[in-house]
Structure 1
Amino acid sequence: MTALIEADRLLDVLETETTLLAAATVGADPDRPVPGCPGLTAGETARHLGSVYRMALTWIRTGDRPTRWQRQPLDGEPLEHYLRDGLRALLGELESHPPDASCPTWHPENQTYGFWRRRMAHEATVHRIDVQGAVGEPITPVPEDVAVDGVDEVLTLWFTHRLAVLGVSGTRATTVAVRTAGHTWLAEVTTDRTTASPAPLLSAESAAATVTGPPQELYLWLWGRSAVFSSAVEREGDLDALTQLWALLRLATR
């Protein structure tokens, strides 16, 4: 659950990605659909991100999971302003505390400001790509170190922790090795639990299936953006194991 990149770098990512997303909303049709995400539009995605920033800030400051916060722009407020205002408030809070300082979060084993730095950086990155794709802008590449950290976060936070919270497990026991840029994770599924963690290359050789791809493409494939980024992701081995991994990830990250 520890980020693979520096905590201050995550703040830079959060600011850069939100700035790109906010700029993409200017003059764009908010009803344009997000590629690969049926029913989701550019405007809904931007509003969601601005809302998540305010939710996180409220959670940090009150110490409890919030039930009320500003979920929508004010009447007449441009989406760009809603996003930028939410970003400034959240960045100010995160920058004013060391990443290892105690802070309430939704992960019982990581109650630190660092959790929110990482979570919000990847929330912004994935949704920035959603909005750029929806409005027809060229997709700004995700830096390799950010994408590799994103792969780790999807697997160790969402696939491992989130599914446990939901009480979801597999229909049969299997393993899938996930590989990119010299890193390997082993995703294990049983009828009781799902777990994923970094693994030595040799320990993953016996996996039933393997998913391999460049960091950006694999990162976004794991997040379900398969309609746009699946062609560079190679899947080999047990088809049932691969199908189960994909289905569980969709439940974990929805």
Structure 2
Amino acid sequence: MSLDPLSVCAAEANILATLLATSDLTAPVPSCPGWSLADLGRHTGGVHAWARDAVGHEPGTPPGAEPPGPAEDATVAAWYRTQADDLLTALVAVDPGRPCWTLDRADRTAGFWLRRQAHETTMHRWDAERAVGRDAHIDPTVALDGIDEVLRMFLPRQLRLGRTSATEDTVHLRPQEMATSHSVGNGAASVGTVSGPAEALLLLLWRRTTLDDPRLTVSGDRSAVDACLDRPLTP
């Protein structure tokens, strides 16, 4: 089943907006150390606004800085809802093939932002649900596509920008929902495999969980696997 990024983004943004409007905005977000729930709303709303602007920019012209959001926590929920609605309006109206500025040198089209914002919103909805004590989950179809996004777009970009280091080792990720595996690293040495649900593997790549997650099974050299994955593979 293929990802429907617009539907995912709309559904996840609605959940996040509702959480912000009905929860204690001073609650800490454990998966984003140092942030409160209000900070999470400001960040995600700012990213929505930034992505909306990017859709309208030519490929060689990046948008400006993300807006910081309101200073007062009490207005964050309404502000986030506005940013999400404006983003969705722009994404519905745009031709996915329209050239624009993106994070991916190989894909300078508006379709990039449909996918990226679906994953951005999903991950931060998960962060918010965990912050308020809910049992958060990510749909397997979304998680499988998210793994692909990390390994095909974010990791190469992190390496290109010098935000992480290359490694001689390779780790294989084997989601239980598919027959094939993904590789982390381009080295000749295969040091091990991590198997489990796509959700848990995606959370591992985004440092929302660890190899100690009971859903994950590690084979091979565990310390080498950990070293290969314990790098900033994503921003």
TM-score, normalization: structure 1? 0.81
Deviations 1:44-90 (A, max 9, x none): 11110000011112222243323345320376763222122111111
Q: Does 1:31 align with 2:65?
A: no
Specify which of 215, 221, 224 is matched with residue 241 of structure 1. Answer: 224
Aligned to 2:147: 151
Which structure 2 segments of 5+ residues have no match? Answer: none
Tell me which amino acid in the other structure corresponds to 2:200.
E
Aligned to 2:234: 253
Aligned to 1:41: 36
Deviation at 1:132, TM superposition (A): 0.8
Specify which of 68, 78, 82 is matched with residue 81 of structure 1. Answer: 78
Tell me which amino acid in the other structure corresponds to 2:191.
A
Distance of aligned partners of 1:239 and 1:69 in 2 relative to their CA distance in 1, 3 Å threshold: closer
Deviation at 1:123, TM superposition (A): 0.5
Specify which of 65, 70, 74 is matched with residue 62 of structure 2. Answer: 65
Deviation at 1:212, TM superposition (A): 1.0
2:192, 2:221 within 8 Å by CA — same for their partners in 1? yes
Tell me which amino acid in the other structure corresponds to 2:98.
A
Specify which of 175, 181, 186 is matched with residue 184 of structure 1. Answer: 181
Tell me which amino acid in the other structure corresponds to 2:116.
R
* Corresponding pairs, count: 231
Matches within 5 A, 1:63-212: 63=58, 64-73=61-70, 78-139=75-136, 141-166=137-162, 168-170=164-166, 172-180=167-175, 181-182=177-178, 183-190=180-187, 207-212=190-195
Distance of aligned partners of 1:41 and 1:253 in 2 relative to their CA distance in 1, 3 Å threshold: farther
Aligned to 1:214: 197
Q: Does 1:20 align with 2:15?
A: yes
Percentage of identical aligned residues: 30
TM-score, normalization: structure 2? 0.87
How much is the aligned-residue C-alpha RMSD, in angstroms?
Answer: 2.5
1:99, 1:114 within 8 Å by CA — same for their partners in 2? yes
For the residues of structure 1 that align with 2:190 and 2:159, how far apart are their CA atoms? 21
Deviation at 1:177, TM superposition (A): 0.7
1:35, 1:228 within 8 Å by CA — same for their partners in 2? no
Which structure 1 segments of 5+ residues have no match? Answer: 191-203
Q: Secondary structure at the match of 1:177?
A: strand
Tell me which amino acid in the other structure corresponds to 1:118.
R
Aligned to 2:215: 232
